[in-house]
Amino acid sequence: MFVITSSFSTPAVEFVRHLSQRIILMDEAALADLMIERGVGVRVSRAVRIKKIDLDFSIRAE
């Protein structure tokens, strides 16, 4: 795996595509996505609660 904080050139991407070994090129955007997905080096700044109608809830008038 090669990780860089910029982006890979098109020739670099094409080069690894034709190698027999599997090499992963990870640019800054892919690294950030992976960190967010795995919860590494990130924290929640705001959580949003989404509510929906409970269809099993009923109010009976007596």
Q: What percent of the chain stands above pLDDT 90? A: 42
- Which whole number is the average pLDDT over 16-37? 90
Burial class (CB in 10 A: 0-12, 13-18, 19+), 59: exposed
Burial of 16 (0-12, 13-18, 19+ CB in 10 A): middle
Partners of 3 in the β-ladder: 26
pLDDT of residue 7: 86
- 33-60 pLDDT, tens per residue? 999 999 999 998 899 999 999 888 877 6
